[in-house]
Structure 1
Amino acid sequence: MGLFRSTSMRSGEYLEGMINDYVVGKANKMRAPKSPSRLVAALTCLQFGFALYATFLLYYMSPAVDLRAKPDFSWATRIAQHWKQFIAQPHTLSSVQENPVITSPSVVCEHEQIDFLQKKSDDALMIRLKKELYGEVLEFQKKNSGTETLAELMRMESKWSSRGPKIPKITVILNHFKRKTLCAQLDSLLNQTLPFHHVWVLSFGSPNELALKRIVEGYNNPRISFISSSYDFKYYGRFQMALQTEADFVYILDDDMIPGKKMLEILAHVGGTDKYKNSVLGSIGRILPFRQKDFTFPSYRKFRSKEAGLYLPDPAYDITVERIVQVDFLSSSWFLSAQLVKALFIETPFTFMTGEDLHLSYQLQKYRNAGSYVLPVDPNNKETWGDSEHRLAYVSETTVIFKDVVQVRDDQWWRALSRGYVTQWAAMNPQKIDALFYAHSVDEVRALAPLLERFRSTVGRKAYIAVSGGSFCTCEEAAAVLKWPKVVCKERRFKIFDLGIGAISGGSNSEVPVLQAVYSSIKGLVKIHNPSLLITVADIDINIKNALKMAAESSINRTVLVLLPRPVIPKVLWMANLRPTALPNWNRMRISVNIITQNRASSLHRLLRSLQNAYYLGDEVPLSFNMDSKVDEATLKIVESLEWAHGPKFVRRRIIQGGLIRAVSESFYPSSDDDFGLLLEDDIEVSPYFYLWIKYALLAYHYDPQVSLPELSSISLYTPRLIEVVKERPKWNATQFFKNIHPNTPYLHQLPCSWGAVFFPKHWREFYAYMSSRFTQDAKQNPVQIPKSRTNGWQASWKKFLIDMMYLRGYVSLYPNFPSQASFSTNHMEPGAHISAKDNALKHDKVDFEVPLMKDDFTRLLPAGKLPPASKLPVLNLFNQAVSLKGLKAAGAKLGQDVIGCDEAEIVAVDHSTGLPRNCTKF
């Protein structure tokens, strides 16, 4: 590799400055050389060291080296830091290798012959399509971010205003291979209204190296340096060299770009504004393809297709950029801060053979949230143009038509879009899907497969899966597990996303690169597709979990992260049946289990065993024990020894005996409107599916914004076999009763359940307020007497007060209904506060209360395999008679025995935050 700086009459000053920087500036620890031989030796060593470093560094960035196996650049970083004192200052990039013959530009310059006119299309259809799309892009950007003209941009406040005291340092990098445009570029740069700091002319593997070198010599300018190598570093070498500058900005130009003389001033001004300081600016760009009607994306080279995207500016279709426009990537020139260049090297590129332009814009957006913009021009003033001779750049654009190159570039931009690159199509066409699944390993794909397939097979639902890629789980491996054809990994259609995590992590043992790559990619996919749920397995690596959590939280549309334990995934396929409007509330509820126990240790042990064997979906489920003062030792030991893995455990014990009415009613009080309480006495046993039933019902009937069922106050786990409030307690079979609708339809019943039910926060507060106003020591003084109800004679029963309130205000509970009254809880009817051993033998037949527990997936028994719409749920009054919700309210209003008096067409309305009665309201 050769480094050369043209000599001039100021070469002595230049060398003296370099010696002062390097030698004298070391705190006087080194003495200035006293002889020319020492100076030459020092400079030779410096040049050799830098040449060795740069050759190795650029070799590793070359297309001939496969970095996918070992993309760790830490070694290069260490060397760069070690040699920073030698190479950071632009003037140290060169040294005198020989005594060149002083020439002038007029002697050595060559010029590119452009013997053709700018191509103009006569295809009326294409002209119309291109202009339509460009107009749509501008209109969208104008509404969302603003699209300024050149004059408007120059009026914006800037750190680098031409009228300000600060002048930015700009290093210009000119990359040359064969074209004869160097002189034109240097002439333009030397005549800029804002002077450059340094120009580095790069010649990597160029057959014209000697001619280029002579040109640089001919200009004999200390700010212009020549850097060459016989090896062709292709497209990334110039960006690697850009890392070495300590200027404020770097301006990288291909050899087809000849900027107008105001270009540096314009670029610096725009780059210094708050709006565009975190951006890469250029003069030519491309907007990537839009989705077609068949939901696929075309090639960016598809002929006569509006969806193929845009090339800007495009003189062939008379498209001029007169307002700043955000594009998906820039071509031929890039103006950005030196710090932003580093983003290009975070991930290993898809290929080193092409596409550095897209890779830069993709990485800048992904890791720096930076945009790519084509600057506007004054059509009548070529001094404002970034490509004053656009025919050169247009030749480059139109000659990239080889099929293999087009295919590689198509694959590259599709990979970027699949990894979360928010293109202009994505910004203009926000998507909405129900679920995005993430799997980091093949086993995780296998675990998530049943739920993914259920979503994809459910009419009206849309779900995709993202896999880690690389050495963790490739798209092809995932497709094989899902029994999808491998073509899904190649076709440009949304279905599966391979994030290629190995491109950034490589051989590193640190968790940071993986976390960074997962977070950045998923954040982009979430922004593009707006999933209601982001679903993965609960035991996923903690770093991946944190990355997914951050990505979900970055969503402006409330994407919810769902962590599902692997064993429960096949049991929550009903998730796909929920309305999309209900899905975002998946994690919103908090269901606590509240146990009332005293001296039935064996019963408590059975209940706890059933609770620990249930499926909890990875939710936090607090568990509380509520014991009266006379609790026995065996019960205390069971409570103390229990290890509850699903959430916090609370233990409460009364000092003064309160009885069952206080033990139950005081066992739970909601802390928010999303706090639900499941009350269980210790002679209850629950089904493994009880929590799934509660969660499904809450999401379907309470958390769906499209459902209005304010009368629903609780969800029962139990299906009764008797009509409890009638004196004779006749037997009743819900399956038989509803056979004309559907034998297993759930139903709404005015009777609350005391043998396993979850109570809603607003209604439980209301119950507290109601009971406090109606509770008396003498139950006979209770003013509420429901006609023909045996509850009127109940004494010291919390349930009586709840029945009264529900009757007066028209509230209902949701009940399950399955064959043989199979339920999510059962009552073992053991001796207690209400049922003594003697009474149990005489008055209660156990078979009437002890129902079988649900041991299998209950959804297959529901109508159409899912919970019916709320409007289709049948309603029963307190006496198991079919009625409407309005009819229930009418009966309560007619009784007229609520805490405040209302007319017959009114019921009491309450303040839901306190539960206190507020006023009467018509129903």
Structure 2
Amino acid sequence: MGGVVVSTAYSYLGQCEMSHMVGSQGSPKVSKGMVTTLLDRFRSPIIEKLHFAVFLPNLTSLERIAPTVCRILQNGHELTITVQRLGDTRGLGSNKEQYLNHGCHFHYIVSSDAGDGYERDILALASSWCGPVPLRDKILVFGGGSNGSWYNSVLKTRVCATTVIYLQDKDLGSSEWLSMLTAEEWRAWDKPTIELAVITHDRPWSLQRLLDSVKRAHYFGDTVNMVINLEQTADQETRRIAEGFTMGSIESRISVRHRIVYAGLMTAVVESWYPHGNHSYGVILEDDVELSPLFYAWIKFCVLRYRYGTPSKDASPLYGISLYQPKVTELHMEGRRPFNARDLFAKANIEHPHTPYLSQVPCSWGAVYFPEHWREFQQYLSLRLSEHVMPATDIVVPNLRSNKWSRSWKKFFNEMVYLQGYVSLYPNYEYFVSLSTNHLEVGEHVPANINQEKQSQYFLPLMQEPEIAKRYPGTELGVKLLDLPLSDLPKWADLPTLDLWGGISTLERLRDVGLERRVNMSVCQFDETQPSALQYLCPPKEVLRPGVSHKIVYDSSTEDDDPDLMQG
């Protein structure tokens, strides 16, 4: 298990190539996790080879990014590392420095450049990458104390790179997931724009906690786009926190909106974000949510994999990505039930019970929504609330508890996903470690007398950076983002699928059930021209049959005696 030795992709006078052995006592110390990773690699499909160039300011940065470097090499990619002499008192003239527990062997180059501009290194890289015989996809990574001004489209063109990213020093230790991106996903790195939509009213302590968690997170060189939506009745302290919030050294665009007419939670959520194109993604965040430092890594990883690395026609039913992994199902008519996806999948003999999965249930406690589906939902909701074709209290989904949630946007979202066969991606980590949690603070859908037992059903531990993560039994570095089947996000076809009630199903079955319901409850006449807004209630004209009953069941009960805590 000696490791991998990588030759440099470029070299020139004044640079000293340094050999570096990861391990101790002069030989590699191979961790249990490394053995698992190597076994996973041998079982995984061959990944298209990439060329990486990593620029770092000192050995401390190299130590932080070492797990990422090792996994890049284990995946068979080529890699060159350039380390400057900035702020490192140990010196780079020795080849005796050693890291522990990563179990791989790599070389790095000591840069002769003074300062942190990397000018000579960039010239050498351009000469190599832009030669007469172009290399394959090339990824340029600046890390640690590097000058962020290099991270721009001009540099990307200058060195003929597929992608250029700038990692802050705090991002380095949490960047291992980057090593699992495919060439196609790297090409799409700059395409998605992820926008945070925060919804707040009169809980300044909640808003402060949420914003603090946003600020602690890792963004891997991306600009943070955020809108803080204030209700008309927001108090002075809440307004002060919103108006004064900044992301510090992280590049960001932050705006604040304040309603002049009271809207209520359903309107506040639905109008908090609207996509400006099909590469626009909205993260809906109510103020009693708290985020993991790795929430953005989960989002970016999943968006790149299932929106850009998967054929669009295959993943078209995917409407979003949840940050939260539920311990309870809420939609049975009898009320809430305990839920554990791992136990469910183990009983069903699914090969990897810890796999992420698809579920029709929308999440209101931290989730990403996709542009096409969110636009569709707004059209659907507008049609339903207008009561143009049917009363808003009429039942669309039989035997669903949310039919009684008269003030919840999720009632209508559940209808849409049921009729269309849509699904969201959910995490499924051990010990319910999650990318978001909810503090169940008193609000429109949470009563003041909520007890601790109910709170414990919804509060989840947040995933942390490896160096501070809780060491759960059986884990070496806590629960990590790549604790996935084969240490990677599964192929689209391998994701298990659940219906609104938490039962195992298939995408084909969900689509057929929704279509059948649209046929049987349709308010459209057989020969009627369908306005675009009606397409979400009406089946395609070719499947409409003359003589089908158009009767819709009326629900006489409009409120739920046991208020749902996940209405959102």
TM-score, shorter chain, exceeding 0.5: yes
Q: Quote the Cα distance in structure 2 between the aligned partners of 1:689 and 1:519.
A: 31
Aligned match of 2:328: 722
Change (3 A) 1:784 1:456: same
Say which of 507, 531, 543 aligns to 2:137. 531
Say which of 405, 415, 419 aligns to 1:808. 419
Task: Describe how 1:655-734 pairs up with structure 2 within 5 A.
Answer: 655-705=260-310, 708-728=314-334, 729-734=336-341
Q: Quote the Cα distance in structure 2 between the aligned partners of 1:532 and 1:599.
A: 49
> CA shift at 1:348, angstroms?
8.4
SS at match of 1:787: coil
TM, length-normalised to structure 2: 0.72
> CA shift at 1:594, angstroms?
1.2
Say if 2:228 is the partner of 1:625: yes
> CA shift at 1:496, angstroms?
6.1
> CA shift at 1:581, angstroms?
1.9
SS at match of 2:199: strand
Change (3 A) 1:863 1:915: same
Say if 2:175 is the partner of 1:553: no
Residue type of the alignment partner of 2:79: Y
Residue type of the alignment partner of 1:666: E
CA contact (8 A) 2:7 2:107 kept: no
Aligned match of 2:201: 598
SS at match of 1:702: helix
**Paired residues, number:** 469
Change (3 A) 1:550 1:827: same
Say if 2:435 is the partner of 1:824: yes
Aligned match of 1:136: none
> CA shift at 1:886, angstroms?
0.6
CA contact (8 A) 2:331 2:500 kept: yes
Q: Quote the Cα distance in structure 1 between the aligned partners of 2:506 and 2:432.
A: 24
Say which of 207, 212, 220 aligns to 1:609. 212
More helix by share: 1
Aligned match of 1:773: 383
Change (3 A) 1:438 1:477: farther
Q: Quote the Cα distance in structure 1 between the aligned partners of 2:542 and 2:165.
A: 40
> CA shift at 1:448, angstroms?
3.7
Say if 2:463 is the partner of 1:463: no
Change (3 A) 1:432 1:918: farther
Task: Describe how 1:66-77 pairs up with structure 2 within 5 A.
Answer: none
Q: Quote the Cα distance in structure 2 between the aligned partners of 1:562 and 1:921.
A: 49
SS at match of 1:622: strand
Aligned match of 1:849: 458
Q: Quote the Cα distance in structure 2 between the aligned partners of 1:851 and 1:510.
A: 42
Say if 2:368 is the partner of 1:758: yes
Change (3 A) 1:561 1:663: same
Q: Quote the Cα distance in structure 2 between the aligned partners of 1:432 and 1:478.
A: 31
> CA shift at 1:896, angstroms?
0.7
Say if 2:499 is the partner of 1:896: no
Q: Quote the Cα distance in structure 2 between the aligned partners of 1:478 and 1:623.
A: 46
SS at match of 2:329: coil
Say which of 332, 335, 355 aligns to 1:745. 355
Q: Which string of whole-angstrom CA distances, capped at 9 and with x for unpartnered residues, describes residues 800-843 of structure 1?
A: 111111111111011111234222112222221122314x359x
Q: Which string of whole-angstrom CA distances, capped at 9 and with x for unpartnered residues, describes residues 736-770 of structure 1?
A: 11223333221100111111111111111111121
SS at match of 1:582: helix
Residue type of the alignment partner of 1:746: P
Aligned match of 1:436: 53
Q: List structure 1 segments (4+ residues) > 6 angstroms apart after TM superposition.
A: 294-297, 347-350, 468-473, 897-900, 908-911, 914-922
Change (3 A) 1:579 1:477: farther
SS at match of 1:753: coil
> CA shift at 1:675, angstroms?
1.5
Aligned match of 2:33: none
Q: Quote the Cα distance in structure 2 between the aligned partners of 1:888 and 1:585.
A: 30
> CA shift at 1:441, angstroms?
4.7
Task: Describe how 1:336-735 pairs up with structure 2 within 5 A.
Answer: 433-439=50-56, 441-458=58-75, 461-467=76-82, 515=119, 517-527=120-130, 528-537=134-143, 539-541=145-147, 545=150, 550-554=154-158, 559-645=162-248, 646=250, 647-705=252-310, 708-728=314-334, 729-735=336-342
Q: Quote the Cα distance in structure 1 between the aligned partners of 2:97 and 2:153.
A: 26
- Structure 1 runs not aligned, ≥5 long: 1-293, 298-346, 351-430, 484-494
SS at match of 2:362: coil
> CA shift at 1:564, angstroms?
1.2
Q: Quote the Cα distance in structure 2 between the aligned partners of 1:604 and 1:296.
A: 50
Q: Which string of whole-angstrom CA distances, capped at 9 and with x for unpartnered residues, describes residues 469-511 of structure 1?
A: 89999x985976578xxxxxxxxxxx86859755xx8xxx997
Change (3 A) 1:480 1:454: farther
Q: Quote the Cα distance in structure 1 between the aligned partners of 2:322 and 2:92.
A: 46
CA contact (8 A) 1:581 1:706 kept: no
Greater RCO (CA < 8 Å, at least 6 residues apart): 2
Task: Describe how 1:95-244 pairs up with structure 2 within 5 A.
Answer: none
CA contact (8 A) 1:598 1:635 kept: yes
CA contact (8 A) 1:437 1:463 kept: no
Q: Quote the Cα distance in structure 1 between the aligned partners of 2:354 and 2:213.
A: 24
Residue type of the alignment partner of 1:802: F
CA contact (8 A) 1:467 1:478 kept: no
> CA shift at 1:664, angstroms?
0.4
CA contact (8 A) 1:538 1:618 kept: no
> CA shift at 1:732, angstroms?
1.6
> CA shift at 1:793, angstroms?
2.0
Aligned match of 1:797: 408
Change (3 A) 1:349 1:688: closer
TM, length-normalised to structure 1: 0.46
Aligned match of 1:286: none
Q: Quote the Cα distance in structure 1 between the aligned partners of 2:140 and 2:246.
A: 30
Moved more, 759-768 or 443-452: 443-452
Please say which structure displays the higher CA radius of gyration. Answer: 1
Change (3 A) 1:861 1:879: same
Aligned match of 1:135: none
Say if 2:488 is the partner of 1:866: yes
- Structure 2 runs not aligned, ≥5 long: 16-47, 100-105, 470-478, 544-568
Q: Which string of whole-angstrom CA distances, capped at 9 and with x for unpartnered residues, describes residues 301-338 of structure 1?
A: xxxxxxxxxxxxxxxxxxxxxxxxxxxxxxxxxxxxxx
Q: Quote the Cα distance in structure 1 between the aligned partners of 2:190 and 2:148.
A: 19
CA contact (8 A) 1:526 1:551 kept: no
> CA shift at 1:642, angstroms?
2.0
Aligned match of 2:506: 884
> CA shift at 1:618, angstroms?
2.8
CA contact (8 A) 2:523 2:537 kept: no
Change (3 A) 1:614 1:348: closer
> CA shift at 1:434, angstroms?
4.3
